[in-house]
Chains A and B, each alone.
Chain A
Amino acid sequence: MSVIALPRAEPVPRRASPGWLALITRRKTTLAGAVLMLVMVLVSALAPVLASDPGHMDVARRLSAPGRAHWFGTDDVGRDVWSRVVYGARLSLLVGAAVVGLSFAIGVVCGLAAGYYRRLDNIIMRVMDGLMAFPAIVLAIALMAALGSSVVNVIVAIGVVNAPRVARVVRGSVLVIRETSYVEAARALGASDGVMIVRHVLPNCLSPVIVQGSFVFAAAVLTEAALSFLGVGVPPYVPSWGVILAEGRLYIQQAPWLVIYPGVAIMLTIFGLNLFGDGLRDLLDPKVRGLATERQRAA
């Protein structure tokens, strides 16, 4: 056995690349958004510790004002509003995450197929255009009418509504990436379509998609609240911010806390997601710009 001695490579001094955490904490607004989201995750995770049973009724104390016993007061059947808001955070987080998952599963596959295979492009994108011709909330209402009221159906309806938006973003970046020189190189080396899509195209179109993710999340939280507020979302026994607001609307004169607390919860959640999404977009932007120059070179 012979050993070939290779010249020992000088260790290249690693360029100090800031980690994810450093990048996120660099801008105050992004940090604020991340903190708001972290609070929401913690509140949902610790819901059983922080709150009591959100369905427990105490009719004797119905519509009592916020105080020591009930921080956020009680509703029309004496349920603790704080507990309902805390468990509502859990539902919002669940719906948001599941909708992002579902709309990405549909949107990324359709977007990749449409962008990569020219023959499929027209048909897929026409269907997506058709779906996007419906205003989001109206299509979601119609889907809920057909599917019936349940948490899973809310996720399906909002997921289907948002999928075309994801597909459009993915298709847009695939169209740019497929013209780049490294994709051409991979093709010249005989890479199959599968390898090409999974190893080369998909990873490079992820950053705009990730940014889209935070906005889809925000849209999902909003739409769930709106659907439940209208009475066509989750069933009324599920603690949801929209459901609490719908009840609060009826007692707005006697019990404004039924509107204020879940309202503030929704606002802070969406604000946090928007701040985070904006920050993320600016952060990932240089890469998108890098793609643009790549495109010019290819042309």
Chain B
Amino acid sequence: MKTYVARRLLALLPVALVVATVAFILIHLAPGDPASVIAGPDATPDDVRRIERQLGLDAPLPVQLVRWYGRLARGDLGQSIFLRKPVTDAILDRVEPTLLLTLFAIAVSVAIGVPAGVISARHHNTGTDQALMVVALLGVSIPNFLLGLLFILFFSVWLGWFPVAGYSPLEYGWALTLRSLVLPAFALGLVQSALIARVTRSSMLDVLREQFITAGRAKGLAERAVVYKHALKNAMIPTITIIGISFAILISGAVVVETVFNIPGLGRLIISAVLRRDYPIIQGVVLCIAGVYMLINLVVDLSYIVFDPRVRYQ
């Protein structure tokens, strides 16, 4: 088990190196000299030189790259050009809504996806199963930002149940926060629940064909115990994987859905940074999200130790 954990941790290193390098390259991909692109068309040569110095763009490329790794290792993401504060502060200011939205959405997608998958598997090849799976495929086909817009149209404009857009921070009370996140969380989570349902169904179907299930039924266990105690636990491994992946997908989905609902999170931060060519912010947000993504994948890998005893003996 220790070697398994060590191997997983070690495998992260090259990936992290590539991620850091890609984020570094971003700023140099822009056609022309990055400093003058950032400074904009109205900048004086002095402005350009100031930005060049500020971003360390006056050093040779390999030196810049090494400095970049060094700064990242210390957790320094640099200064925002437009907001005039450290990138880490800018990100921390915006993390709350994105994190809450993602957690809410994952709760929605698991609460709907797992039961739907189990029901579909139990009633395999019946009308219920087919209807659920067509709905799931339809669900996978709706982009989250579109579903968000349709939700606003239906629940906010026509029915008037929810605010059209906006976010109420936690400091004004969690009830208001929750209310402002209901539509965005469902817009995000429903699409993902379709994926979770499809995976849960197929892995349940595989497990229900196993001999220990037949054995369980033969010794007279109640169908509920067979399905929920024995089958579900064994079917959870692919489901856990997909939930982990979903979490990562939902964070990036939140980036898009935030724009639909005018939620001031990381998504709004990166989009406004793109429009203002504030490269340090873009790099920072991209690195932050990729970091979370990698961390989640690691947690998923390590969770197999709990769910699949075979991994422990590797």
Contacts and interface: CB of A to CB of B under 8 A. Distances in A.
Interface in B3-62: 14-19, 21-23, 26-27, 29-31
Contact of A138 (B16, B146, B150, B290): B290
Given A141-B255, A146-B30, A259-B150, A133 B15 contact: yes
Contacts of A117: none
Given A126-B18, A145-B274, A271-B137, A226 B143 contact: yes
A148 interface: yes
B299 to A, nearest CB: 14
A275 interface: yes
Interface residues of A, number: 43
Interface stretch (B75-83, B201-209, B223-231, B246-254): B246-254
Given A126-B18, A231-B271, A259-B153, A267 B146 contact: yes
Contacts of A40: none
The binding surface of chain B is classed by DSSP as: helix
Interface stretch (A45-53, A244-252, A288-296): A244-252
Interface in B203-259: 248-249, 251-253, 255-256, 259
A271 B141 contact: yes
B132 interface: no
Contacts of B26: 142-143, 145-146
A143 B282 CA distance: 10
B194 to A, nearest CB: 10
Interface in B260-312: 260, 270-271, 273-275, 277, 279, 282-283, 285-286, 289-290, 293-294, 297
A97 interface: no
A144 B248 CA distance: 21
A94 interface: no
B15 A126 contact: yes
B63 interface: no
Contacts of A130: 14-15, 17-19, 21-22
B157 A256 contact: yes
B72 interface: no
Interface string A262-285: 010011001100110010000000
A263 B144 CA distance: 11
B145 interface: yes
Nearest to B297: A133
Given A129-B18, A130-B15, A135 B252 contact: yes
Interface residues of B, number: 53
Contacts of A259: 146, 149-150, 153
Contacts of B146: 225, 245, 259, 263, 266-267
Most buried by A among B17, B26, B283, B297: B26
Given A134-B19, A135-B248, A271-B137, A226 B157 contact: no
B255 A137 contact: yes
B256 A230 contact: yes
Contacts of B290: 133-135, 138
Nearest to B12: A133
B296 to A, nearest CB: 11
A195 B121 CA distance: 46
A37 B22 CA distance: 36
Contacts of B274: 141, 144-145, 232
A135 B289 contact: yes
Nearest to A130: B18
B142 interface: yes
A206 B273 CA distance: 41
B100 interface: no
Contacts of A222: 143
A139 B248 CA distance: 13
B152 interface: yes
A139 B277 CA distance: 15
Interface string A99-133: 00000000000000000000000000011011101
Contacts of B297: 133
A267 B138 CA distance: 8
B112 interface: no
A136 interface: yes
Interface in B133-186: 137-138, 140-143, 145-146, 149-150, 152-153, 157, 164
Given A126-B15, A134-B286, A225-B146, 15 more contacts: A130-B18, A133-B15, A134-B293, A135-B248, A141-B271, A142-B286, A144-B274, A145-B277, A147-B31, A230-B259, A232-B274, A260-B150, A266-B143, A266-B146, A271-B141
